[in-house]
Amino acid sequence: MKTGGRIVAKAYLWLILIVIYAPIAFIAVFSFTEAKSLGNWTGFTFNLYHSLFTGATSNSEALLVALKNTVVIALVASLISTVLGTLAAIGIYNLSGRKKKTIQFLNNIPMLNPDIITGVSLFLLFVFLHITKGYTTIILAHVTFCTPYVVLNVLPKLTQMNPNIYEAALDLGATPMQALRKVLVPLLRPGMISGFILAFTMSLDDFAVTYFTAGSSGIDTLSTFIYSDVRKGGLTPELKPMMTLIFLLVLVVLLVVNLRSFRKQKQLEI
Amino acid sequence: MGKRSAWALPYFIFLVLFVVLPLVLIGVYALTDADGRFTLANMGAFFTDPKIINSFLVSLEVALENTVICILVGYPVAYILADKSLNRSAVTAVLFILPMWINALMRTMATAEIFNVLGIGLGKGTLLFGMAYDYLPFMIYPIYNILDKMDKSYAEAAQDLGASPVKVFLKVTLPLSLPGVASGVMMVFMPTVSTFAVSEILTNNTIMLFGSVIQEQFNNLMWNQGAALSFIMLIIIGVTTLIPGNKNSETVEGGATV
């Protein structure tokens, strides 16, 4: 009975995983053929990989620019979010009462709002303030929805920390800057890193907010690039090898990181 | 101690400027016409324009069905992942969030293409499948988080006192995991209502969700009308999240850690 239940559970997990990964496998398989439409097999070839890297067609060149934009925007936005969010978390930790509640409530709003509301509201803000849409508006918008995740990842680290350590550093003659750099930041680093990774992921995956805050600036990220492809009725073929490579890269990184921490845990147990 | 509380000030100013003010602007644009004069016409269109109200009702229906599907499919996944006797590897849990690193629109295109290859016509069924596929991780993760951190001694105590496994689940584990389900519902329901692009791809433009209606109005430079529809969504979100108090903030927190 017990082992029967375990088999059913395992089978269920695998079934869901197969369904979840089917579209990605589909993209990967059809990245090795040259046909324009996704489900069309016209023989095995590396041609799409080749034209992706050489930027042979004008579309594949625009695609590489979109990829670069996506990564740059995600990096800049999540770095700003990490600094802003960490400082905010330290501040919130030291606040109390109504002030603390207010800022925590405001911090929750971007996470609760659907993307389209965040996008529309920021669109109206930039219209209202007469700010021309471009990199700055996209990055500011991304910082808006990324920072709450940093705050929520750093705050628990502060509550777990012994508050006397920071005071001790000050008593022993460290300047507040030194105490921040040498004491606080190392203690908060795990929360800052997971906050950064989460912010980076949210930024990479965003479509709606970028769509509304890029306006007619002509700046494309992967999401808006794919969307305009969809509207035109066909995907740029080089997207298939690009997505396949991104997926493999992330898979390898995640497996390495997780297996390593898994091994560390095992060693500690022994 | 007192001085360090000032470190929250830059973020507070940022929040006022980029969260509070924009939301106020939605209200302002919703209640004015193109010349900036007060009007209720934009809000009224929601109730009088059959196209808008229909799309809203369809969106609510799709969102409700999607949420139920995500709970029915996702809860067992979260339960199995969190049960150490069924799943000992942390990597399996990661496998469920990994697809989120591949662009959602790209995955949706591939899903639609698989349906084409299988000869399944695009419509309500494919829309629900694709939506569940997109939102499943947002349901699994908060439930997994709360089940994983749950004090196992409650379930063990119930078992020791003679409760059957089914009873232990229904009377102990399930009630304790409900906050996780609640934050999962929040992360699935309203986002589904406001989805655009994904629904266009999965139904070949035959079903228009509320998000598409809003987007279309902004595309047609009807900012005040689009703002009015966004304002209505905002009111619904406000009412549904403020009523249960701020109980969910903690599970959102749990769901936010990688």
How far is it, in rounded angstroms, from Cα A251 to Cα A257? Answer: 10
Is residue B60, in this structure, part of any structural domain at all?
yes
pLDDT in tens, B103-113: 888 889 889 88
pLDDT at position A267 is 67
Beta partners for B32?
B38
What is the span of the domain harbouring residue B56? 15-255
pLDDT beyond 70 at A2: no
Give yes or no for B20 touching A (CB within 8 A).
yes
Contacts of A138 (CB under 8 A, 6+ apart): A73, A210, A213, A214, A219, A221
Q: How confident is the model at residue B117 (pLDDT cuts 50, 70, 90)?
A: confident
More confident position, A63 or B242 = A63
pLDDT at position B244 is 59
Cβ atoms of A73 and A142 within 8 Å: the answer is: yes
Task: Quote the minimal CA–CA distance from A198 to chain B in Å.
Answer: 7
Indicate which CATH number applies to the domain containing B121.
1.10.3720.10
Give yes or no for B32 touching A (CB within 8 A).
no
Is residue B5, in this structure, part of any structural domain at all?
no
pLDDT in tens, B60-96: 999 999 999 999 999 999 999 988 777 777 778 888 8
List CB contacts (< 8 A) between A37 and chain B: 113
Q: How confident is the model at residue B56 (pLDDT cuts 50, 70, 90)?
A: very high
pLDDT at position B30 is 95
Q: Which two tokens stand for residue A134?
A: 């471009």
pLDDT in tens, B222-236: 899 999 999 999 998
Is residue A20, in this structure, part of any structural domain at all?
no
Count the Cβ atoms, other than its own, within 10 Å of residue A105. 13
pLDDT beyond 50 at B1: no
pLDDT at position B37 is 87
- If you average pLDDT over residues A250-260, what whole number do you get? 82
How far is it, in rounded angstroms, from Cα B86 to Cα B89? Answer: 9
List CB contacts (< 8 A) between B19 and chain A: 106, 109-110, 144
pLDDT in tens, A194-241: 999 989 988 998 999 999 999 877 899 999 999 988 888 778 888 889
Is residue B7, in this structure, part of any structural domain at all?
no
pLDDT at position B156 is 86
List CB contacts (< 8 A) between B30 and chain A: none
pLDDT beyond 50 at A70: yes
Q: Per the CB < 8 Å rule, is A95 touching B8?
A: yes
What's the complex ipTM? 0.87
Q: Per the CB < 8 Å rule, is A20 touching B133?
A: yes
pLDDT beyond 50 at B121: yes
Mutate one of A40, A67, A107, A117 to test the B interface: name it (highest B CB count within 10 A).
A117
- If you average pLDDT over residues A172-193, what whole number do you get? 88
Task: Quote the minimal CA–CA distance from B48 to chain A in Å.
Answer: 22
pLDDT in tens, A84-107: 999 999 999 989 889 999 999 999
Q: Which of A197, A195, A177 is nearest to A89 (CA)?
A: A195
Q: How confident is the model at residue A269 (pLDDT cuts 50, 70, 90)?
A: low
Cβ atoms of B56 and B64 within 8 Å: the answer is: no
pLDDT at position A170 is 87
Give yes or no for B116 touching A (CB within 8 A).
yes
Is residue B207, in this structure, part of any structural domain at all?
yes
Report the percentage of chain A scoring pLDDT > 70.
94
Q: Which of B118, B114, B84 is nearest to B201 (CA)?
A: B114
Give yes or no for B191 touching A (CB within 8 A).
yes
Give yes or no for A256 touching B (CB within 8 A).
no
C-alpha B253 chain-centroid distance? 15
Give yes or no for A110 touching B (CB within 8 A).
yes
pLDDT beyond 80 at A262: no
Q: How confident is the model at residue A177 (pLDDT cuts 50, 70, 90)?
A: confident
pLDDT at position A268 is 64
More confident position, A76 or A183 = A76
Report CA dihedral (A224, A226, A230, A231) to the nearest 10 degrees: 30
Question: Mapping DSSP to helix (H, G, I), strand (E, B) and coil, where does residue B86 land?
Answer: coil
Which residue does chain B place closest to A19, by CA atoms? B133
Query: Considering chain A, what is the average pLDDT of its residues?
Result: 88
pLDDT at position B249 is 44
Instruction: Indicate the residue of A92, A114, A250 with minimum beta-carbon distance to B101.
Output: A250
Cβ atoms of B215 and B231 within 8 Å: the answer is: no
Q: Per the CB < 8 Å rule, is A258 touching B91?
A: yes
Give yes or no for B100 touching A (CB within 8 A).
yes
Residue with tokens 């070949």: B204
List CB contacts (< 8 A) between A128 and chain B: 25
pLDDT beyond 60 at A57: yes
Q: Per the CB < 8 Å rule, is B19 touching A106?
A: yes
Q: Per the CB < 8 Å rule, is B5 touching A26?
A: no
Indicate which CATH number applies to the domain containing A87.
1.10.3720.10
What is the span of the domain harbouring residue A224? 58-244
Is residue B2, in this structure, part of any structural domain at all?
no
Q: Which of B17, B22, B5, B13 is nearest to B227 (CA)?
A: B22
Is residue A178, in this structure, part of any structural domain at all?
yes
Q: If contacts are CB pairs under 8 Å, which of residues 126-165 in chain B contact chain A?
A: 133, 136
Is residue B10, in this structure, part of any structural domain at all?
no
Query: Considering chain B, what is the average pLDDT of its residues?
Result: 86
pLDDT beyond 80 at A261: no
pLDDT at position B254 is 41
pLDDT in tens, A111-144: 888 999 999 999 999 999 999 999 999 999 999 9
List CB contacts (< 8 A) between B105 and chain A: 207, 223, 226-227, 230
Task: Domain count for chain B, please give it.
Answer: 1
Task: Domain count for chain A, please give it.
Answer: 1
pLDDT at position A270 is 55
Residue with tokens 């809203």: B56
CA quadruple A154, A159, A165, A171: dihedral sign: positive
